[in-house]
Amino acid sequence: MDNLKTQGISLPKLGLGTFRMQGDACRAAVESALSIGYRHIDTAEMYANEESIGAALAAAHLPRSELHVTTKVWHENLSPDAIRRAFDASLNKLRLDHVDLYLVHWPSKAANWGAVFETLMKLKQEGRTRAIGVANFTTALLKIAVEDIGAPIACNQIEYHAMLDQSKVLAYLAAKSIPLVAYCPLAQGRIASEPVLAEIGVKHNATAAQVALKWLLEQPGVAAIPKASRRESQQSNLDALKITLDEVDRAKIAALPKDRRCVNPGFAPAWD
Binding-site residue set for substrate: 105
| Measured distance CA(211)–CA(199) in Å, rounded | 10
Torsion-angle region of 270 (φ positive above 0: left; ψ -120 to 50: alpha; else: beta)? left
Q: Specify the 3-state DSSP secondary structure of 159.
A: strand
Q: What's the chain's Rg over C-alpha atoms? A: 18
C-alpha 261, offset from chain centre: 16
Question: In residues, how long is the chain?
Answer: 272
| Measured distance CA(35)–CA(31) in Å, rounded | 6
| Measured distance CA(18)–CA(226) in Å, rounded | 8
Q: Give me the amino acid identity at 237.
A: N
Binding-site residue positions: 105
Q: What's the N-to-C CA distance of the chain in angstroms?
A: 35
Active site residue 183: no
Q: How many other C-beta atoms are found inside a 10 Å radius of the C-beta of residue 149?
A: 17
Residues β-bridged to residue 259: 164
- Given a contact cutoff of 8 angstroms between Cβ atoms, the answer to whether 196 and 202 are in contact is no
Nearest-CA neighbor of 103 among 177, 179, 156?
A: 156
C-alpha 262, offset from chain centre: 15
Nearest-CA neighbor of 228 among 26, 90, 65?
A: 26
Residue in 47, 160, 172, 183 annotated catalytic: 47
List active site positions. 47
